[in-house]
């Protein structure tokens, strides 16, 4: 399912880009180690212990360096050898003030790096937790991939890290292997797309497991990248330096070797917001997690190749949010929950009876806030506003659902009725609208 996340990062470090640091290795002289991960909005989240504190990281091929944010004060004080720098990436804002920290101890179950370098962003505006629905403290990519052959099983939610010196490829009749090019230590793959005029052509795409969309194409990077008439303007995500906007549509075909996707989702980010991406003159766009999650993937950075095999998600349709509203996690809110229990008793006539005794308790539950509304969308036309807190969706309380469950409801077939109970300035209001396809 296409649970969209609003993150595409491209880091360009103006200073200190060539600093040497330690490498990850497998402990106890093992040849491989397997780690579980959480899959949210198509994206991989892993746990890493940093200087003794367990943190949550997005596992992202789209970056070459490691970055930390959303740190508590006590954790910030534990970071080692810190100095101030500037970071610039995708988005419309200015460069961010950040810190660089060296010689940190990174430990996972079976993996260790005693001298990890990381960048730290203290700007509270940069926080993925609101979009993911759980606390996210960092992003890690190239620093892990470069040292191993990494197998990603999206079905079992497992990562397996292999020692590249001893890894042997097994015969796989349904696998296909493709060469990788690298630019600024990030992986690129050549694929074929077909535009709405029926023209097929080659494009070079950044492989970005940290971008939840299927495909991004840059309009000015190839003469045959042409947007069809069936598109809508939308908020595409949040980059390192601000919001990213562009067009959403569908591509007639996407071909990766013999793997073919028809009517795949595609976004065309406005060039104003992705100036940094054009530093690589050969790049035509991004291959995101909504395609990658349809395969068992083997990343072999040392061997400069990637291997794909279809999994059970391969034929899933490319869904998209048809409501026009975007959500963010708004922190915990206090709700009153009913708690019932059965009590045995005796009536005045001496008969045994069972009573239901109800009591109420206060609990902290997640809240979901409307962060963006697309112009002329069903949600905006119904009267919803940014800042509204979703209390119920189609009669079910929202706080008992994960954010991706709500997004899935909003991505169903056209004309499906959506009923919302929201909170606005302390008032509870009801709204309803029908989902609307933008391409039919």
Domain ranges within the chain, ordered by starting residue: 12-162, 176-310, 325-333+366-434
Q: What is the pLDDT of residues 94-136, one digit of tens each?
A: 666 788 999 999 999 999 999 999 988 876 666 677 677 778 8
Give the torsion through C-alpha atoms of 215, 219, 221, 226, to 10 deg. 90
- Select from 291, 223, 228 the least CA-distant residue to 42: 291
* Tokens at 60, concatenated: 């992202």
Q: What is the pLDDT of residues 348-405, one digit of tens each?
A: 666 666 666 655 666 667 789 998 899 899 999 999 999 999 999 999 999 888 888 8
SS (H, E, C) 52-67: CEEEEEEECCCCCCCE
pTM above 0.85, yes or no: no
Q: How confident is the model at residue 293 (pLDDT cuts 50, 70, 90)?
A: very high
Domain 325-333+366-434 in CATH 2.30.42.10: yes
CATH code, 176-310 = 2.40.70.10
- Select from 341, 343, 345 the least CA-distant residue to 353: 345
Domains 176-310 and 325-333+366-434 share a fold: no
Task: Select the CATH number that applies to the domain covering 12-162 from these four: 2.40.70.10, 3.10.129.10, 2.40.10.10, 3.40.50.720.
Answer: 2.40.70.10
Cβ(134)–Cβ(366) under 8 Å? no
Beta bridge partners of 178: 306
Q: How confident is the model at residue 303 (pLDDT cuts 50, 70, 90)?
A: very high
Q: What is the residue-wise DSSP string for 135-148?
A: ---EEE-HHHHTTS
φ and ψ of 63, to 5 deg: -125, 155
Helix H or strand E encompassing 407: helix 403-409
For residues 213 and 41, give the distance between their C-alpha atoms in angstroms, rounded to a whole number.
9
Q: What is the pLDDT of residues 104-115, one digit of tens each?
A: 999 999 999 999
For residues 387 and 370, give the distance between their C-alpha atoms in angstroms, rounded to a whole number.
5
């Amino acid at each position: 399912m296409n649970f969209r996340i609003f993150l595409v990062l491209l880091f360009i470090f103006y200073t200190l880009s060539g600093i040497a640091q330690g490498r990850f290795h497998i402990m106890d002289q093992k040849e491989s180690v397997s780690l579980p991960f959480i899959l949210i909005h198509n994206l991989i989240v892993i746990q890493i212990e940093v200087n003794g504190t367990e943190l949550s990281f997005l596992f992202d091929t789209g970056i070459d360096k490691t970055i930390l944010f959303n740190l508590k004060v006590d954790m910030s004080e534990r970071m080692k050898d810190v100095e101030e720098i500037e970071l610039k990436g995708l988005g419309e804002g200015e460069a961010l003030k950040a810190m660089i920290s060296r010689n940190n101890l990174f430990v996972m179950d079976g993996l260790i790096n005693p001298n990890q370098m990381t960048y730290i962003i203290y700007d509270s505006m940069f926080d993925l937790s609101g979009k993911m629905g759980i606390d996210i403290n960092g992003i890690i990519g190239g620093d892990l991939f470069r040292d191993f052959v990494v197998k990603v099983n999206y079905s079992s939610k497992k990562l397996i890290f292999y020692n590249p010196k001893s890894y042997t490829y097994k015969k796989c009749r349904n696998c296909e292997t493709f060469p990788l090019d690298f630019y600024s230590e990030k992986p690129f793959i050549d694929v074929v797309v077909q535009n709405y005029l029926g023209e097929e052509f080659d494009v070079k795409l950044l492989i970005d497991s940290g971008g939840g969309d299927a495909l991004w194409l840059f309009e000015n990077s190839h003469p045959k990248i042409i947007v069809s008439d069936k598109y809508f303007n939308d908020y595409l995500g949040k980059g390192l330096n601000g919001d990213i906007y562009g067009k959403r549509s569908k591509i007639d075909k996407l071909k990766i070797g013999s793997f073919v996707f028809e009517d795949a989702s595609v976004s065309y980010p406005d060039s104003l917001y992705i100036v940094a991406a054009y530093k690589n003159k050969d790049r035509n766009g991004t291959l995101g997690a909504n395609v990658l999650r349809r395969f068992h993937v083997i990343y072999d950075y040392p061997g400069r190749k990637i291997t794909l095999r279809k999994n059970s998600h391969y034929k899933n349709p490319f869904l998209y949010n048809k409501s026009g509203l975007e959500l963010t996690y708004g922190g915990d809110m206090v709700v009153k929950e009913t708690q019932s229990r059965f009590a045995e008793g005796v009536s005045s006539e001496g008969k045994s009876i069972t009573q239901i005794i109800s009591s109420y308790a206060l609990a902290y539950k997640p809240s979901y806030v409307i962060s963006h509304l697309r112009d002329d969308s069903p949600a905006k036309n119904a009267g919803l506003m940014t800042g509204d807190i979703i209390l119920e969706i189609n009669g079910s309380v929202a706080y008992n659902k994960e954010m991706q469950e709500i997004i899935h409801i909003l991505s169903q077939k056209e004309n499906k009725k959506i009923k919302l109970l929201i909170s606005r300035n302390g008032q509870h209001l009801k709204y309803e609208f029908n989902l609307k396809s933008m391409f039919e």
